[in-house]
């Protein structure tokens, strides 16, 4: 064996001895660690304290903005339509939309007034004849049957007079209703063409309310928590607004209840939104989300006291990305395991890191 080969053999022998010594020492340390009972092993953890908080709980729902109401305007008279506005026009309350002209009705009113005057004169004349008949019957000139005939004639004339007055009142009412005004402010829609002949009670147009409401679609399971006047928060496409619930409709669509809310400001019609309906105010504790562990599929935390970990189940009320709101029996001076919490078990010995 030459000198170079001898040096290589010596180096290999030295390396193998050191490697064997390393594994032998490591096995001894592992064996020593395993000899420590599991209950006595400790985990290094960091701790935090819970912070008390009062938070508004809310439910997120979808919805759409729509006109508050759409009112049909019906004519109260018959005749030719004279339009004073146009479709899409924004009108104020009591603005004139159209008039209904009827020359025949005007002539009928004139003739009816003449008829009433004539009947009124006839009534006066028949009253005078009846009075004369009564005096003549006392003198024995007229019989009782003749007197009754005069009374019947007077009653028939009075009935005709009253019927004429009723007919005149109806004509005058129709004529006074020939001016059609907007009952509310809004946009005109489906207006009949100018010059159309309209009958009594026919739909002239519709008024789309300028005010907007929000139709929200709510799960029936959540509906029992709703009430009239409940607050709704809207934050959609840069629009921040509030609204209040004014109606909870019994009807549903796609297994969702329709809830109507009025916004505090004007919103465009047809806007699809997401809204938060405030349900209640909850008092609880805010803790880091990383301190939550799952034990038997239930959320829990480990309370650290005198270097011991105690399992404490909690109820998560609200998830806030990196924090959670829990409502359970905690104290402000409790220490909750944060770092390495997942490594703990109930009764584990810990070392709290400074």
- pLDDT grade, residue 30 (50/70/90)? very low
Q: List C-alpha distances in Å: 273 to 112, 216, 259, 267, 320.
A: 60, 9, 14, 11, 22
Q: Determine the Cα–Cα distance for residues 114 and 120; give it in Å rounded to an integer.
A: 10
- pLDDT tens, 113-163? 999 999 999 989 888 888 888 888 887 787 888 888 888 988 999 999 999
The pLDDT value recorded for residue 150 is 85
Are the folds of 58-68+211-282 and 70-101+178-209 the same? Answer: no
In this predicted structure, what is the pLDDT of residue 14? 45
Would the pLDDT of 210 be above 70? yes
Residue ranges per domain, the chain?
A: 58-68+211-282, 70-101+178-209, 103-176
Measured at the CA of 191, the angle between CA 187 and CA 195, to 5 degrees, comes to: 140
pLDDT digits (tens, 9 = 90+) for 158-188: 999 999 999 988 888 777 768 889 988 888 9
The CATH architecture that domain 58-68+211-282 belongs to is Beta Barrel (2.40)
Q: What is the pTM of this model?
A: 0.44
- Which pLDDT belongs to residue 298? 92
Question: What does CATH list as the number for 70-101+178-209?
Answer: 2.40.50.100
Summarised one tens digit per residue, pLDDT across range 277-311 is: 877 677 888 999 999 999 988 999 999 999 999 99
H, E, C per residue of the chain = CCHHHHHHHHHHHHHHHHHHHHHHHHHHHHHHHHHCCHHHCEEEECEECCEEEEEEEEEEEEEEEEECCEEEEECCCCEEEEECCCCCCEECCCCEEEEEECHHHHHHHHHHHHHHHHHHHHHHHHHHHHHHHHHHHHCCCCCHHHHHHHHHHHHHHHHHHHHHHHHHHHHHHHHHCCEEECCCCEEEECCCCCCCEECCCCEEEEEEECCEEEEEEECHHHHCCCCCCCEEEEEECCEEEEEEEEEEEEEEECCEEEEEEEECCCCCCCCEEEEEEEEEEEEEEEEEHHHCEEECCEEEEEEEECCEEEEEECCEEEEECCEEEECCCCCCCCCEECCCHHHCCCCCEEEECC
């Amino acid at each position: 064996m030459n000198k170079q080969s001898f040096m290589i053999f010596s180096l290999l022998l030295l390396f193998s001895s050191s490697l064997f010594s390393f594994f032998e020492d490591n096995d001894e340390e592992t064996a020593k660690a395993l000899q420590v009972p599991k209950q006595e092993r400790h985990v290094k953890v960091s701790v935090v304290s819970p912070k008390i908080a009062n938070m508004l709980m809310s439910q997120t729902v979808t919805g759409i903005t729509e006109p508050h109401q759409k009112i049909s305007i019906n004519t109260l008279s018959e005749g030719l339509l004279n339009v004073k506005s146009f479709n899409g026009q924004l009108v104020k309350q009591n603005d004139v939309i159209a008039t209904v002209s009827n020359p025949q009705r005007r002539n009928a009113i004139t003739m009816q007034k003449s008829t009433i005057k004539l009947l009124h004169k006839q009534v006066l004349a028949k009253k005078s004849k009846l009075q004369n008949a009564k005096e003549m019957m006392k003198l024995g000139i007229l019989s009782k049957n003749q007197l009754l005939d005069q009374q019947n004639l007077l009653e028939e004339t009075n009935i005709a007079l009253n019927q004429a007055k009723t007919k005149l009142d109806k004509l005058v009412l129709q004529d006074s209703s020939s001016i059609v005004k907007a009952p509310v402010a809004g946009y005109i829609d489906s207006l009949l063409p100018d010059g159309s002949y309209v009958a009594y009670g026919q739909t002239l147009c519709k008024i789309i309310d300028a005010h907007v409401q929000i139709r929200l679609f709510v799960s029936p399971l959540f509906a029992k928590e709703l009430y009239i006047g409940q607050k709704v928060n809207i934050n959609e496409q840069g629009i921040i607004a509030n609204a209040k619930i004014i109606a909870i409709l019994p009807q549903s669509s796609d297994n969702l209840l329709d809830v109507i809310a009025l916004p505090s400001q004007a919103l465009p019609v047809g806007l699809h939104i997401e809204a938060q309906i405030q349900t209640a105010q909850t008092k609880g504790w805010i803790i880091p989300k990383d301190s939550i562990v799952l034990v038997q599929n239930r959320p829990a935390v480990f309370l650290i006291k005198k270097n011991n970990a105690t399992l404490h189940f909690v109820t998560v009320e609200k998830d806030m990305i990196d924090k959670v709101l829990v409502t359970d029996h905690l104290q402000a001076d409790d220490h909750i395991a944060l770092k390495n919490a997942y490594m703990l078990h109930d009764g584990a010995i810990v070392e709290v890191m400074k």
